Amino acid sequence: MSQEKILDKLLGLARPNKPVILHLRGQATETMSDAVYTRALEIVQNNCEPEQKIHLHCFHGSTRQMDTWRRAFPNTYFSFSLKVKNFHEDQIQATRNVPNHRILIETDSPYCTIPSNIRINNPRRIGQVAMILAGIRSQPVAEIFAITRENGKSLYG
Protein backbone atom coordinates (compact mmCIF):
# COMPACT_ATOMS: atom_id res chain seq x y z
CA MET A 1 0.00 0.00 0.00
CA SER A 2 1.35 3.44 -0.87
CA GLN A 3 2.27 5.98 1.78
CA GLU A 4 -0.50 8.26 0.51
CA LYS A 5 -3.14 5.56 0.97
CA ILE A 6 -1.88 4.78 4.46
CA LEU A 7 -1.94 8.48 5.36
CA ASP A 8 -5.45 8.76 3.97
CA LYS A 9 -6.63 5.85 6.14
CA LEU A 10 -4.88 7.11 9.27
CA LEU A 11 -6.30 10.60 8.88
CA GLY A 12 -9.76 9.03 8.94
CA LEU A 13 -9.07 8.44 12.65
CA ALA A 14 -8.09 12.07 13.34
CA ARG A 15 -10.00 14.16 15.85
CA PRO A 16 -9.63 17.96 16.12
CA ASN A 17 -8.83 17.80 19.84
CA LYS A 18 -5.89 15.40 19.24
CA PRO A 19 -2.89 16.48 17.17
CA VAL A 20 -1.92 14.89 13.90
CA ILE A 21 1.86 14.65 13.74
CA LEU A 22 3.39 14.73 10.27
CA HIS A 23 7.06 14.17 9.50
CA LEU A 24 7.29 15.12 5.85
CA ARG A 25 10.37 14.79 3.72
CA GLY A 26 11.20 14.16 0.12
CA GLN A 27 14.26 12.68 -1.51
CA ALA A 28 17.60 13.08 0.26
CA THR A 29 18.67 15.63 -2.37
CA GLU A 30 15.69 17.91 -1.70
CA THR A 31 16.23 20.73 0.76
CA MET A 32 12.58 21.81 1.16
CA SER A 33 10.42 18.86 0.01
CA ASP A 34 8.01 21.32 -1.59
CA ALA A 35 6.05 18.70 -3.55
CA VAL A 36 5.73 16.51 -0.46
CA TYR A 37 4.37 19.37 1.68
CA THR A 38 1.92 20.30 -1.09
CA ARG A 39 0.65 16.74 -1.61
CA ALA A 40 0.38 16.08 2.12
CA LEU A 41 -1.67 19.24 2.56
CA GLU A 42 -4.09 18.06 -0.15
CA ILE A 43 -4.52 14.72 1.62
CA VAL A 44 -4.98 16.34 5.03
CA GLN A 45 -7.52 18.81 3.63
CA ASN A 46 -9.53 15.91 2.20
CA ASN A 47 -9.67 14.19 5.60
CA CYS A 48 -9.56 16.79 8.36
CA GLU A 49 -11.53 19.82 9.46
CA PRO A 50 -9.74 23.21 9.38
CA GLU A 51 -9.61 23.31 13.20
CA GLN A 52 -7.53 20.10 13.31
CA LYS A 53 -4.38 20.43 15.40
CA ILE A 54 -1.37 19.69 13.18
CA HIS A 55 2.24 19.26 14.28
CA LEU A 56 4.66 19.57 11.36
CA HIS A 57 7.57 17.70 12.90
CA CYS A 58 11.06 18.69 11.67
CA PHE A 59 9.64 21.46 9.52
CA HIS A 60 12.02 22.48 6.74
CA GLY A 61 9.66 24.08 4.25
CA SER A 62 9.54 27.43 2.54
CA THR A 63 7.75 30.57 3.62
CA ARG A 64 5.06 29.77 1.05
CA GLN A 65 4.55 26.31 2.54
CA MET A 66 4.35 27.69 6.07
CA ASP A 67 1.79 30.31 5.00
CA THR A 68 -0.25 27.76 3.03
CA TRP A 69 -0.46 25.34 5.95
CA ARG A 70 -1.37 28.17 8.36
CA ARG A 71 -4.19 29.37 6.11
CA ALA A 72 -5.62 25.86 5.62
CA PHE A 73 -5.10 24.76 9.24
CA PRO A 74 -4.75 27.68 11.67
CA ASN A 75 -3.87 25.22 14.47
CA THR A 76 -0.66 24.11 12.75
CA TYR A 77 2.48 24.04 14.88
CA PHE A 78 5.94 24.03 13.30
CA SER A 79 8.81 22.31 15.08
CA PHE A 80 12.46 22.80 14.29
CA SER A 81 15.44 20.54 14.88
CA LEU A 82 19.18 21.01 14.46
CA LYS A 83 18.62 20.89 10.71
CA VAL A 84 17.73 24.57 11.04
CA LYS A 85 21.47 25.33 11.10
CA ASN A 86 21.66 24.31 7.42
CA PHE A 87 18.58 26.18 6.20
CA HIS A 88 18.86 28.42 3.16
CA GLU A 89 17.39 31.93 3.09
CA ASP A 90 13.75 31.08 2.32
CA GLN A 91 13.67 28.46 5.08
CA ILE A 92 15.25 30.94 7.49
CA GLN A 93 12.59 33.49 6.56
CA ALA A 94 9.87 30.90 7.19
CA THR A 95 11.45 30.19 10.58
CA ARG A 96 11.33 33.90 11.41
CA ASN A 97 7.71 34.19 10.27
CA VAL A 98 6.22 31.39 12.36
CA PRO A 99 4.14 33.11 15.04
CA ASN A 100 5.37 32.65 18.60
CA HIS A 101 2.23 30.72 19.52
CA ARG A 102 2.91 28.09 16.83
CA ILE A 103 6.63 27.33 17.23
CA LEU A 104 8.22 24.24 18.79
CA ILE A 105 11.77 22.94 19.11
CA GLU A 106 12.96 19.34 19.05
CA THR A 107 16.08 17.25 18.68
CA ASP A 108 14.57 14.42 16.61
CA SER A 109 16.71 12.07 18.67
CA PRO A 110 18.42 9.94 17.66
CA TYR A 111 17.91 10.65 13.97
CA CYS A 112 18.78 14.27 13.29
CA THR A 113 22.26 14.78 11.89
CA ILE A 114 24.57 16.46 14.34
CA PRO A 115 28.25 17.40 14.45
CA SER A 116 30.34 14.52 13.16
CA ASN A 117 32.32 14.12 16.39
CA ILE A 118 29.16 13.03 18.25
CA ARG A 119 27.91 9.55 17.44
CA ILE A 120 24.41 9.60 18.91
CA ASN A 121 21.96 12.48 19.13
CA ASN A 122 19.91 12.81 22.32
CA PRO A 123 17.39 15.18 23.91
CA ARG A 124 20.04 17.14 25.82
CA ARG A 125 20.91 18.83 22.51
CA ILE A 126 17.68 20.83 22.73
CA GLY A 127 19.69 23.81 23.98
CA GLN A 128 21.61 23.92 20.71
CA VAL A 129 18.36 24.04 18.77
CA ALA A 130 17.05 26.82 21.03
CA MET A 131 20.26 28.85 20.60
CA ILE A 132 20.20 28.60 16.81
CA LEU A 133 16.49 29.43 16.65
CA ALA A 134 16.94 32.35 19.06
CA GLY A 135 19.63 33.77 16.79
CA ILE A 136 17.50 33.42 13.67
CA ARG A 137 14.43 34.94 15.34
CA SER A 138 16.32 37.58 17.36
CA GLN A 139 14.76 36.36 20.60
CA PRO A 140 16.39 35.40 23.89
CA VAL A 141 17.03 31.66 24.34
CA ALA A 142 14.96 31.70 27.55
CA GLU A 143 12.02 33.10 25.59
CA ILE A 144 12.32 30.33 22.98
CA PHE A 145 12.20 27.75 25.78
CA ALA A 146 9.23 29.43 27.48
CA ILE A 147 7.28 29.79 24.23
CA THR A 148 7.83 26.21 23.16
CA ARG A 149 6.98 24.85 26.61
CA GLU A 150 3.63 26.66 26.52
CA ASN A 151 3.01 25.62 22.93
CA GLY A 152 3.73 21.99 23.79
CA LYS A 153 1.19 22.18 26.60
CA SER A 154 -1.34 23.78 24.28
CA LEU A 155 -0.82 21.21 21.54
CA TYR A 156 -0.54 18.07 23.67
CA GLY A 157 -2.19 19.05 26.96
* CA distance from start to end of the chain: 33
What integer pLDDT is reported at residue 72 of this predicted model? 98
**What's residue 119's pLDDT?**
58
Find, among 14, 5, 82, 67, the residue nearest to 37 by Cα: 67
Residue 101's pLDDT is what?
Answer: 98
Closest to 147 in 3D by CA, of 98, 82, 109: 98
Q: Is the pTM of this model over 0.85?
A: yes
Mean pLDDT by 10 residues, the chain (157 residues): 85 90 76 83 95 95 95 97 90 96 83 55 76 96 97 95
